[in-house]
Structure 1
Amino acid sequence: MTDFAAARFFMVEGQIRPNKVTDHRLVDVLSETPREAFVPESARGVAYVDDDLPLGNGRYLLEPMVFARMLQYVSVQETDRVLDVGCAGGYSTAVLARLAASVVGLDSDAGLTAQAKAALAAQGVVGATVATGPMAEGYTQSAPYDVIVIEGTVPEVPAALAEQLAEDGRLVAIVQDERGVGEVRLFQKAGGVLSSRILFEAQPHTLPGFAKKTTFVF
């Protein structure tokens, strides 16, 4: 039988802390949130692996180190309203709910959102809701958001998500560049303009429904 508490401890000490994750609130939440509760039963034994974890139907749970570093850079505050895009089985939403005032987990896969709702309820997570819909379109009902987290690689940040980011808001995403390399980027909105900077490289699996808009050159 897997000792999940020990696996979680070794995830934090072996994957999180050595990779420049020093935010004490974030480390504490990662130490307390059971990843195994948000993945299929068949995957629970490897819930803390240092790689993207297959959830079925072509979807994955982000590698712990990549997820933790993304959250550290986006600096979630206790007063923030958060949109968690690609929430899958709800693990990321559970972590964000313990860091922020409120979080909406959004996913296009109805099966995954049903699992997320059940898992969040079973874990007694408060301040979190889960919605099903096109991920690239965001969730306007609760916008604007202080923080938006995109849980996978995308070719670009859709305009709809940028529009739902509040003034002075932060968005973190893994954007695939022209070489096919994934770059974790931090976007910030100031004066209605979105600017970004590259944080580090990562190669998570892509999220569906984020096709890059076609442009024509004449």
Structure 2
Amino acid sequence: MNFEKARFNMVEQQIRPWEVLDQNVLDLLMTVRREEFVPAGHRELAFAEVEIPIGCGQVMLKPVIEGKILQALRVEKTDSVLEIGAGSGYFAALLAARAEWVRAVEIECALVKLASENLARNGVDNVVVVHGDGVDGWAERAPYDVIVVSGGLPFVPQALLEQLKVGGRLFAFVGEAPVMKARLITCEAEGRFRTEDLFETVVPMLKNAPRQDPFRF
């Protein structure tokens, strides 16, 4: 398989037509080698417009979804980033290429190992993958400039919002199948947030995702 041609086609035929036009994002997707983070049995699907199973009921998101998230978050070199759901480590690698550092929290031991090994093998040294349940964030290094929730949530827990810096951005897939909202939340001031729904999709739910919003009656 010609990976470079497949990578080019992924960017030009899948991602750019879906209004991912930020050249920095497109360049990043051309640079970070997606095939290095795909399970060996699925490498031929590395650039296909599909979710790729990585074990433990989790998947790598479609490339176009990853592009849309990166474009929305506008990650800067000085940003501290929390990723909830490390998966294969690929999206952490994308974030790390733009940020100062990334803390990726993963609840499945097998995926902690997978992501850590993939990141180390590809020379990504500003990501730490930790084992834990990140559904309420990771207070140890809070607050963050950017928070990315890589699995579905029925609602965004207040604890996550409280771990955003003023000016910080949070991305999450909110709702339940058959339709979830890809949601960008920006902290405009202490305790004040602006919400924008970017597109609709469906992704696997986070393990231990809360089922009832305690602030909604």
For the criterion TM > 0.5, the same-fold answer is yes
Distance in 2 (alpha carbons) for counterparts of 1:128 and 1:83 = 10
Query: What's the counterpart of residue 161 of structure 2?
Result: 162
List runs of 5+ in structure 2 lacking aligned partners: none
Paired residues in the alignment total: 216
SS in structure 2 at match of 1:96: helix
> Does 1:64 find its partner at 2:63?
yes
TM-score, normalised by the number of residues in structure 2: 0.93
**Per-residue CA distance 1:52-94 (angstroms, 9 max, x = gap):** 1111221011111111111111111111111111111100000
SS in structure 1 at match of 2:70: helix
Q: Which amino acid aligns with 2:67?
A: A
Alignment of 1:81-120 (within 5 A): 81-120=80-119
Following superposition, which runs of at least 4 residues in structure 1 exceed 6 angstroms of deviation? Answer: none
> Conserved in 2, the CA contact under 8 Å of 1:89 and 1:116?
yes
SS in structure 2 at match of 1:37: helix
Identity percentage of aligned residues: 38
Distance in 1 (alpha carbons) for counterparts of 2:195 and 2:9 = 33
In the TM superposition, residue 180 of structure 1 has moved relative to its aligned partner by 4.2
Among 169, 183, 186, the alignment partner of 1:185 is: 183
> Conserved in 1, the CA contact under 8 Å of 2:178 and 2:202?
no
**Per-residue CA distance 1:29-62 (angstroms, 9 max, x = gap):** 1101111211211111111121211112210111
Q: Which amino acid aligns with 1:187?
A: I
Cα RMSD after superposing both structures: 1.9
**Per-residue CA distance 1:74-115 (angstroms, 9 max, x = gap):** 111111111111111100000000011111111111111111
List runs of 5+ in structure 1 lacking aligned partners: none
Distance in 1 (alpha carbons) for counterparts of 2:174 and 2:163 = 18
In the TM superposition, residue 195 of structure 1 has moved relative to its aligned partner by 2.9
| Bigger mean CA offset, 52-61 vs 190-199 | 190-199
Distance in 2 (alpha carbons) for counterparts of 1:115 and 1:181 = 29
